[in-house]
């Protein structure tokens, strides 16, 4: 008998977060994930008179006379309530209304992020069906739709049915129908890949609650035979004649079978759907399933079986989970944002079966299409090819926003529940695409690429708490190996002080004691001996200046990229880095501004050139346009100035005009123009009316700054004055990737910049 232990299952997750990180994220800044944003100015007394008394009386009276005008004068048409009583919070059970709030805020955030639907979480502190229904039924005037969430079965069935009868807006229990739609889409594709026909496929569902019953019903409607669907709950199989723990919804799915346990039901089964709890499925159970079994372990936050365990027991399986950190995320996030988007846009009175089936088919078809470049990049070109590891689109797929809502809206029109026509579906699809910020999506794609191609990144200020936390997050996210530069005892003391554990995979290098020092000093001396440095100067720098040491590591190939700046001023950090790393072409900084209203805008140079000359401006424009393209944007470059096309006059516009002429002479393949003010650059209407000759065909998405003065003022003011997120400056143009964060940056900023540095190392 072999005494070899079974090989531990390989961890196939793509990114991990710790509980501590999740808590820190929720507590940071304004607690929670939501705030209210005004869509109209409320600054002057006139604004107040228009928005409030007396002006507000006008829309009130108009709506009173003609209720449909509420869609024109209020937020109703784009506003969804996410309502829960917390009786089935994910797979965590009955946590109550208050503890469900993070999930509900999260659902509102997902509505906004993926489909530009506004929302509000409403956590109702009652388990009484009548109280719940009465609370929600009168909310109709405020909302365009009601998304019910995490309400346990069987109460959820009654609540949804009654609210659908009482309200004239869509009422949709996401855990039922959102889950069923996404799971059905995944199953269509998994069945296709394994050569199965749904009509003869045998499915076992573990769980007989909200999500399970809805899945069974939708799959029956799509052609699965009722007798081929066996459902189990905490008491085992739902067989005909069972009385314990039953209700009318379960009874409708009880089948004639000898199986009494999940294990027995799974013998020879083709498909397993887990909508129950963590760990409910064992390796032995899936060993008894048919060839190429399909396993959707959808319990959240932890699946019924992990993909590692499933693959170990059944290498031939297709496995999906509800989590975003494994391939094949079968989660209703792929459904509810887009389904409501389509329903709201045609003012559907309900979300009916035709709309659900249309959504499932649109999702399934999308995964089978050739994956465009920007989507493939998010899987590093590996996973995102239709197959066992990619049966369902990724939540960040930018095509979702234009495909699923159109399918849903068309189905609403065809089935007669739309109250607004869909005149031009192709145009509607284009409008939908504009709702999404492609560059923000591309950032996620960048992080995915780093996960697929992990890199060694030096964290030069390795003794700092924020840096250590960022390094831990870096390793947990699967971005690669962080190398902390610092004294071991100091690093371990800081780690102990903050009460965390240094995970495996983090290296510590003490610059003073490193065995590489003489190698680095020789190499650096070779580079700098004619720049006024004696060998002993270089030795001292390598030993004492962590930025020089870290840059040598990268320059000599001992690491792929470096991150610094947390404790030293930008110029000091840059000086250390530049000792060892040369510029290749123009060196400059680029800041990404991710703004809700105008989408993502790239701003350059935000780090290096105080007064760039024409050649530098032209070079910055060309490199920035290339970055914009890689982020999925069609570059429109505006050279900014205080002056717009000669008004007022001054000296700076001269170099900008020369830069434009240089680009003209080069015949570059992107749009550019200048000089112009920021308002003219960003407002296409203003440009069209005053400067119709301007060559930009839309709002500028690359702003080339006339000097560091303006660049710093803009990028440092924006995060304080607006809700835009800024990332950067990202250093471009060094021979090897090195990033410098602004002094005192937080963990997330360090982590983002380290990931960008790693990405630069991949794409060099």
User: Where is the binding site for NADP(+), in residues?
Assistant: 89-96
Residue 180: closest CA among 393, 353, 427: 353
Q: How many Å apart are CA 626 and CA 363, to the nearest integer?
A: 32
* Region of 172-180, 219-227, 446-454, 646-654 interacting with Mg ion (CB under 5 A): 172-180
Residue 759: closest CA among 744, 739, 741, 742: 739
The yes or no reply on residue 100 touching ligand CC(=O)C(=O)O (CB under 6 A) is no
> In the set 332, 378, 402, 481, which binds ligand CC(=O)C(=O)O (CB under 6 A)?
332
Handedness of CA 708, 576, 580, 730 (dihedral sign): negative
Residue 443, both tokens: 């950032």
Output phi, psi for 703, to 5 deg. Answer: -110, 115
> In the set 77, 274, 307, 322, which binds ligand CC(=O)C(=O)O (CB under 6 A)?
322
Q: How many Å apart are CA 193 and CA 1, to the nearest integer?
A: 38
Complete DSSP assignment for 79-112: EEEEEE--TT-TTS---HHHHHHHHHHHHHHHHH
The yes or no reply on residue 234 touching ligand NDP (CB under 6 A) is yes
CB-nearer residue toward ligand NDP: 336 or 459: 336
Binding residues for a divalent metal cation: 149-150, 175, 300
* Region of 169-177, 359-367, 590-598, 647-655 interacting with Mg ion (CB under 5 A): 169-177
Q: Are 503 and 475 in contact (CB under 8 A)?
A: yes
| Binding-residue pattern over the window 32 to 71 for ligand CC(=O)C(=O)O, x denoting contact by CB under 6 A | ----------------------------------------
Contact partner at residue 511 from ligand NDP, ligand CC(=O)C(=O)O, Mg ion, none, CB < 5 to 8 Å by partner kind: none
CB-nearer residue toward ligand CC(=O)C(=O)O: 182 or 457: 182
Q: How many Å apart are CA 482 and CA 48, to the nearest integer?
A: 53
Q: Report in angstroms how near the CB of residue 480 gets to ligand CC(=O)C(=O)O at its nearest.
A: 30
Query: Which residues from 134-173 bind ligand NDP, rule CB under 6 A?
Result: 152-153
Residue 150: closest CA among 115, 178, 130: 178
CB-nearer residue toward ligand NDP: 304 or 437: 304
Contact partner at residue 289 from ligand NDP, ligand CC(=O)C(=O)O, Mg ion, none, CB < 5 to 8 Å by partner kind: none
Q: Report in angstroms how near the CB of residue 286 gets to ligand NDP at its nearest.
A: 15
Q: Report in angstroms how near the CB of residue 346 gets to ligand CC(=O)C(=O)O at its nearest.
A: 25
Complete DSSP assignment for 476-534: HTT-EEEEEES-HHHHHHHHHHTT----TT-EEE-TTT-TTHHHHHHHHHHHHGGGT--
Q: Report in angstroms how near the CB of residue 762 gets to ligand CC(=O)C(=O)O at its nearest.
A: 32
Rg (CA), the chain: 29
Contact partner at residue 277 from Mg ion, ligand CC(=O)C(=O)O, ligand NDP, none, CB < 5 to 8 Å by partner kind: ligand NDP
Q: Are 254 and 213 in contact (CB under 8 A)?
A: no
How far are the Cα atoms of 449, 587, 608 from residue 733, in angstroms, in the given order? 21, 4, 11
* Region of 233-241, 311-319, 446-454, 506-514 interacting with ligand NDP (CB under 6 A): 233-241
The yes or no reply on residue 150 touching Mg ion (CB under 5 A) is yes
Q: Report in angstroms how near the CB of residue 92 gets to ligand CC(=O)C(=O)O at its nearest.
A: 9
CB-nearer residue toward ligand NDP: 275 or 439: 275
Collapsed DSSP state (helix, strand, coil) of residue 432:
helix
H or E, element range at 50 = helix 45-51
The yes or no reply on residue 331 touching ligand CC(=O)C(=O)O (CB under 6 A) is yes
Collapsed DSSP state (helix, strand, coil) of residue 472:
helix
Contact partner at residue 225 from ligand NDP, ligand CC(=O)C(=O)O, Mg ion, none, CB < 5 to 8 Å by partner kind: none
Beta bridge partners of 119: 80
Query: What does DSSP assign to residue 632?
Result: T
Residue 287: closest CA among 258, 307, 308, 317: 317
Q: Report in angstroms how near the CB of residue 278 gets to ligand NDP at its nearest.
A: 8
* Region of 144-152, 253-261, 428-436, 673-681 interacting with Mg ion (CB under 5 A): 144-152
The yes or no reply on residue 110 touching ligand NDP (CB under 6 A) is no
Q: Report in angstroms how near the CB of residue 170 gets to Mg ion at its nearest.
A: 17
CB-nearer residue toward ligand CC(=O)C(=O)O: 276 or 739: 276
Query: Which residues from 137-156 bind ligand CC(=O)C(=O)O, rule CB under 6 A?
Result: 150
Q: Report in angstroms how near the CB of residue 248 gets to ligand NDP at its nearest.
A: 13
Residue 763, both tokens: 């794409």
Q: How many Å apart are CA 570 and CA 712, to the nearest integer?
A: 13
CB-nearer residue toward ligand NDP: 210 or 409: 210
Sheet of 171-173, strand order: 118-123, 79-84, 145-148, 171-173
Query: Which residues from 322-341 bind ligand NDP, rule CB under 6 A?
Result: 322, 330-332
Query: Which residues from 159-198 bind ligand CC(=O)C(=O)O, rule CB under 6 A?
Result: 174-175
The yes or no reply on residue 175 touching Mg ion (CB under 5 A) is yes
Q: Report in angstroms how near the CB of residue 401 gets to ligand NDP at its nearest.
A: 19
Q: How many Å apart are CA 533 and CA 521, to the nearest integer?
A: 11
Collapsed DSSP state (helix, strand, coil) of residue 454:
coil
The yes or no reply on residue 481 touching ligand NDP (CB under 6 A) is no
**Judged by CB under 6 A, how many residues of this single chain contact ligand NDP?**
30
Q: Report in angstroms how near the CB of residue 725 gets to ligand NDP at its nearest.
A: 27
> In the set 15, 90, 380, 500, which binds ligand NDP (CB under 6 A)?
90
Residue 328: closest CA among 358, 313, 312, 306: 306
Binding residues: 89-96, 149-150, 175, 300
Q: How many Å apart are CA 353 and CA 362, to the nearest integer?
A: 14
Handedness of CA 14, 19, 24, 25 (dihedral sign): positive
Beta bridge partners of 591: 603
Q: Report in angstroms how near the CB of residue 564 gets to Mg ion at its nearest.
A: 42
Q: Looking at beta carbons, which residue is closest to ligand NDP?
A: 209
CB-nearer residue toward ligand NDP: 212 or 643: 212
Query: Which residues from 284-323 bind ligand NDP, rule CB under 6 A?
Result: 298-300, 322
Query: What does DSSP assign to residue 583?
Result: E
* Region of 218-226, 274-282, 462-470, 685-693 interacting with ligand NDP (CB under 6 A): 274-282
CB-nearer residue toward Mg ion: 99 or 498: 99
Q: How many Å apart are CA 764 and CA 762, to the nearest integer?
A: 6
Residue 699, both tokens: 């709002």
Active-site residue list: 107
Residue 340, both tokens: 């409501």
Complete DSSP assignment for 178-218: IHHHHHHHHHHHHHHHTT--GGG--EEEE--SHHHHHHHHH
CB-nearer residue toward ligand CC(=O)C(=O)O: 175 or 605: 175
The yes or no reply on residue 675 touching ligand CC(=O)C(=O)O (CB under 6 A) is no
| Binding-residue pattern over the window 187 to 216 for ligand NDP, x denoting contact by CB under 6 A | -------------------xxxxxxx----
Q: What letters, b where the CB count within 10 A reaches 16 and e where it falls short, cover 368-395?
A: eeebeebbbbbbbeebbebebbbbbbbb
Q: Under the rule (CB under 5 A), what is the footprint of Mg ion?
A: 150, 175
Q: Under the rule (CB under 6 A), what is the footprint of ligand CC(=O)C(=O)O?
A: 90, 150, 174-175, 300, 322, 331-332
Q: Under the rule (CB under 6 A), what is the footprint of ligand NDP?
A: 88, 90-91, 152-153, 175, 179, 206-212, 232-235, 245, 275-277, 280, 298-300, 322, 330-332
């Amino acid at each position: 008998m072999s005494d070899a232990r079974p090989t531990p299952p390989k961890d196939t997750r793509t990114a991990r977060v710790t509980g501590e990180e999740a808590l820190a994220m929720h507590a940071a800044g304004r607690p929670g994930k939501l705030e209210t944003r005004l869509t109209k100015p409320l600054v002057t007394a006139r604004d107040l008179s228009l928005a409030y008394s007396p002006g507000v009386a006008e829309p009130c009276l108009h709506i009173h006379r003609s209720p449909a005008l509420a869609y024109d004068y209020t937020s109703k048409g784009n506003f969804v309530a996410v309502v829960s009583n917390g009786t089935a919070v994910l797979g965590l059970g009955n946590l109550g209304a208050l503890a469900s709030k993070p999930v509900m805020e999260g659902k509102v955030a997902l509505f906004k992020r993926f489909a530009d639907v506004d929302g509000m979480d409403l956590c109702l502190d009652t388990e009484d069906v009548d109280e719940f229904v009465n609370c929600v039924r009168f909310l109709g005037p405020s909302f365009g739709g009601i998304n019910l969430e995490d309400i346990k079965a069987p109460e959820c069935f009654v609540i949804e049915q009654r609210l659908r009868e009482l309200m004239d807006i869509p009422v949709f229990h996401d855990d039922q129908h959102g889950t069923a739609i996404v799971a059905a889409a995944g199953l269509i594709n998994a069945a296709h890949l394994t050569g199965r026909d749904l009509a003869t496929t045998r499915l076992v569902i573990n769980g007989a609650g909200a999500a399970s019953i809805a899945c069974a019903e939708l799959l029956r409607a799509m052609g699965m035979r009722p007798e081929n669907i066996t459902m189990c709950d905490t008491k085992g199989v739902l067989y005909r004649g069972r009385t314990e723990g039953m209700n009318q919804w379960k009874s409708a799915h009880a089948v004639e079978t000898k199986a009494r346990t999940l294990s027995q039901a799974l013998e020879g089964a083709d498909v397993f759907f887990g909508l129950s709890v963590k760990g409910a499925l064992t390796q032995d159970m899936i060993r008894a399933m048919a060839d190429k079994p399909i396993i959707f372990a959808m319990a959240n936050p932890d699946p019924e079986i992990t993909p590692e365990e499933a693959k170990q027991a059944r290498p031939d399986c297709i496995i999906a989970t509800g989590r975003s950190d494994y391939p094949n995320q079968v989660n209703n996030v792929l459904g509810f944002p887009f389904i409501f988007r389509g329903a709201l846009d045609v003012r559907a009175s309900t979300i009916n079966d035709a709309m659900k089936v249309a959504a499932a088919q649109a999702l399934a078809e999308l995964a089978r299409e050739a994956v465009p470049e920007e989507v493939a990049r998010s899987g590093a070109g590996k996973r995102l090819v239709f197959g066992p590891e990619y049966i369902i689109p990724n939540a960040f797929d930018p095509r979702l926003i234009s495909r699923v809502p159109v399918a849903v809206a068309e189905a609403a029109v065809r089935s007669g529940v739309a109250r607004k026509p869909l005149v031009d579906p192709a145009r509607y699809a284009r409008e939908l695409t504009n709702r999404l910020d492609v560059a923000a999506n591309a950032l996620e794609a960048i992080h995915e690429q780093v996960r697929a191609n992990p890199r060694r990144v030096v964290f030069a200020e390795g003794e700092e708490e924020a840096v250590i936390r960022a390094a831990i997050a870096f390793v947990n996210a699967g971005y690669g190996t962080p190398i902390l530069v610092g004294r071991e005892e100091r690093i371990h003391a800081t780690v102990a002080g903050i009460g965390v554990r240094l995970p495996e995979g983090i290296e510590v290098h003490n610059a003073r004691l490193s065995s590489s020092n003489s190698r680095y000093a020789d190499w650096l001396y070779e580079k700098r001996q004619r720049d006024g440095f004696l060998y002993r100067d270089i030795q001292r720098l390598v030993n004492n200046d962590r930025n020089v040491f870290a840059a040598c590591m990268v320059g000599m190939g001992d690491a792929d990229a470096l991150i610094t700046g947390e404790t030293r001023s930008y110029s000091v950090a840059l000086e250390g880095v530049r000792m060892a790393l040369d510029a290749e072409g123009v060196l400059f900084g680029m800041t990404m501004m991710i703004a809700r209203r105008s989408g993502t805008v790239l701003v350059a140079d935000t780090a290096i050139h105080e007064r760039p000359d024409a050649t530098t401006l032209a070079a910055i424009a060309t490199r920035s346009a290339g970055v914009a393209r890689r982020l999925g944007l069609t570059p429109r470059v505006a050279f900014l100035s205080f002056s717009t096309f000669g008004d007022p006059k001054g000296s700076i516009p001269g170099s900008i005009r020369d830069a434009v002429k240089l680009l003209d002479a080069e015949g570059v393949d992107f749009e550019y123009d200048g000089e112009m003010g920021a308002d003219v650059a960003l407002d296409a209407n203003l440009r069209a009316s005053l400067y119709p000759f301007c060559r930009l065909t839309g709002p500028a998405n690359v702003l080339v700054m006339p000097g560091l003065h303006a660049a710093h003022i803009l990028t440092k003011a924006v995060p304080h004055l607006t809700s835009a997120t800024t990332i950067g400056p990202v250093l471009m143009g060094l021979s090897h990737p090195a990033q410098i964060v602004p002094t005192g940056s937080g963990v997330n900023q360090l982590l983002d910049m380290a990931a960008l540095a790693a990405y630069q190392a991949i794409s060099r």
